[in-house]
């Protein structure tokens, strides 16, 4: 085994943090909090080294940041520890390591029971989510995909709100059911190819040694797509999401919206498009239809909510519909916009859940009609919340605008989608402004009409330092989006070239 790369180092650090929390039994609750935060900050720092070493001119996996050795070796198959980063995964890896310290810090004052177990689960879920984004072996990917469910199940079920058990079980059963269908597809494909390693399978397909007939490829596409669509979640497979978000503790909602939902959208880019290019083109209009329905449905239902957290939860369905529309435009602008919007949604919606958590800790209610005039009482908090709301709406100069504009550009220029999809998606942008401004006006503007709101304290240091990094990244992406596109250009261009070659071959038959 060669020297371990930075990718494996950053991947293993949260697991070391879990071991430290378990073994150091004499730590006080406060020491446990700081230990977890320290490990998450070190993980983020090392991930920045990965970013610094990333070579944007390399099309596939970064050679210096790939680890590959046998994990389970049998007579007929081998499962490998095969990990690496490329233009598809680098920003999602960074998103994970960025969100986790914020989620941990946001819990400092709210979690007072089973503190060691709580922070162990947070670090474990970071480890599993990073595994999903860096795994290059299909079976290894599936292991991390499933492992990530376990800590989130307990985070909701133990530290959630009044209906937490129902929400936790619903979350687990929905995502597990879709995943089992994907497992069958992975086993079939691995047996057919003689390996579970994604780069090897793709190489076999390109050199003609592995050929899937059209019907088989389409069925495999659907098997993967169902698992990913549940996780996104796409309409109509979304019903688990509002319950999970509303019942989860603040950090759980931040992680779920910030990173975990991106496992689904990432899966489409990583597996469905390169493995089944003909099926991707065939199903693109159908998936885009579901995406547009989700955009409008999520926005419409968001406006009807009176629970702020449920409003933000339904907004995720709408925003991630944009991501799916961009991916299945099947061109560079759409796919790059979709990947960037994965990051944007994680930042903006994660920030919104943090903002809701600040109010909930003070009032222990999330109802819109319980507030009003908060700007006069908490001006610092309100100013930060306004920027996050505007970023979620897609205001020019902030992160959300760049992603949505690029997605609409890709959709308009797609050769598999009509302009109807673009027009309907643009309507979703308008609806997002409606429900977000309605929420902000109800909560923050006007007179303070409730006595309980007249003496609410503004942000404390812990809350401020949870929100400030979100604020910084919102402006960095909004003003310097080219830095983010540059790292994915080569990988996306290669993928689009594969999709185009497939279209040419199909047209020639």
The one-digit pLDDT tens for each residue of the chain (509 residues) are 457 889 999 999 999 999 999 998 888 989 999 999 999 999 999 999 999 999 888 888 898 899 988 888 766 677 889 999 998 999 999 999 999 999 999 988 888 889 999 999 999 999 999 999 999 999 999 999 999 999 999 999 998 878 889 888 988 888 888 889 999 999 999 888 888 899 989 988 888 888 888 999 999 999 999 999 999 889 888 888 888 888 889 889 999 888 999 999 999 999 999 999 999 999 999 999 999 999 999 999 988 888 898 999 899 899 999 999 999 999 999 999 999 999 999 999 999 999 999 998 888 888 888 888 899 999 999 999 999 999 998 889 999 899 999 999 999 998 888 899 999 999 988 998 899 999 999 999 988 888 888 888 988 998 999 999 999 999 999 999 888 899 998 889 989 988 876 655 544 44
Cα dihedral 399, 284, 60, 498 sign: negative
The whole-model pTM stands at 0.91
Q: How many CB atoms lie within 10 A of CB 163?
A: 13
Among 477, 313, 462, which Cα is nearest to 397's? 477
**Interior/surface letters 228-244, b for 16+ CB within 10 angstroms, e for the rest:** bbbbbbbbebbebbbbb
Q: Residue 125 contacts by C-beta under 8 Å, 6 or more apart in sequence? A: 148, 151, 152, 155, 255, 260
């Amino acid at each position: 085994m060669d020297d371990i790369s930075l990718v494996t180092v950053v991947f293993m650090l949260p697991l070391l943090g879990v071991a430290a929390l378990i073994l150091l039994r004499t730590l006080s609750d406060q020491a446990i909090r700081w230990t977890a935060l320290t490990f998450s900050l070190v993980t983020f720092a090392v991930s920045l080294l990965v970013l610094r070493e990333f070579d944007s001119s390399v099309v596939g996996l970064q050679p210096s940041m790939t680890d590959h050795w046998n994990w389970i070796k049998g007579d007929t198959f081998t499962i490998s520890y095969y990990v690496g980063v490329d233009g598809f995964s680098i920003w999602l890896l960074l998103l994970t390591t960025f969100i986790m310290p914020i989620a941990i810090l946001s819990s400092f004052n709210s979690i007072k029971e089973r503190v060691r177990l709580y922070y162990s689960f947070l670090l474990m879920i970071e480890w599993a989510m990073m595994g999903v984004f860096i795994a290059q072996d299909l079976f290894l990917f599936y292991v991390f995909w499933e492992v990530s469910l376990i800590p989130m199940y307990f985070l909701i079920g133990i530290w959630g709100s009044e209906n937490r058990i129902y929400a936790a079980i619903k979350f687990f059963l929905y995502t597990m059911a879709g995943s089992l269908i994907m497992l069958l597809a992975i086993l079939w494909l691995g047996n057919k190819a003689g390996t579970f390693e994604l780069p090897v399978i793709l190489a076999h397909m390109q050199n003609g040694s592995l050929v899937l007939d059209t019907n088989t490829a389409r069925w495999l596409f659907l098997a993967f797509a169902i698992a990913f669509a549940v996780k996104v979640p796409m309409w109509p497979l979304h019903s688990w999401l509002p319950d999970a978000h509303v019942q989860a503790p603040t950090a759980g909602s931040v992680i779920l919206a910030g990173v975990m939902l991106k496992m689904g959208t990432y899966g489409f880019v990583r597996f469905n498009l390169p493995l089944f290019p003909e099926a991707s083109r065939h199903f693109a209009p159908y998936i885009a239809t579901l995406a547009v329905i989700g955009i409008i449905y999520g926005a419409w239902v968001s406006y009807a909510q009176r629970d702020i957290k449920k409003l933000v939860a339904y907004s995720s369905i709408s925003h991630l519909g944009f991501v799916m529309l961009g991916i299945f435009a099947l061109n560079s602008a759409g796919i790059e916009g979709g990947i960037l919007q994965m990051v944007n949604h994680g930042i903006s919606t994660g920030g919104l859940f943090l903002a809701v958590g600040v109010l909930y800790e003070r009032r222990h209610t999330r109802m819109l009609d319980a507030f009003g005039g908060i700007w006069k009482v908490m001006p610092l908090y309100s100013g930060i919340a306004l920027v996050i709301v505007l970023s979620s709406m897609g205001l020019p100069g902030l992160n959300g605008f760049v992603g949505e504009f690029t997605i609409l550009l890709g959709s308009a220029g797609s050769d598999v989608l009509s302009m109807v999809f673009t027009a309907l998606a643009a309507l979703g942008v308008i609806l997002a402004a409606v429900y977000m401004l309605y929420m902000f006006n109800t909560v923050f503007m006007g007179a303070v009409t409730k006595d309980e709101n007249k003496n609410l304290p503004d942000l404390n240091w812990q809350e401020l330092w949870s929100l400030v990094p979100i604020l910084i990244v919102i402006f960095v992406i909004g003003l310097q989006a080219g830095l983010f596109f540059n790292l994915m250009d080569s990988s996306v261009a290669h993928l689009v070239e594969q999709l185009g070659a497939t279209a040419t071959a199909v047209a020639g038959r």
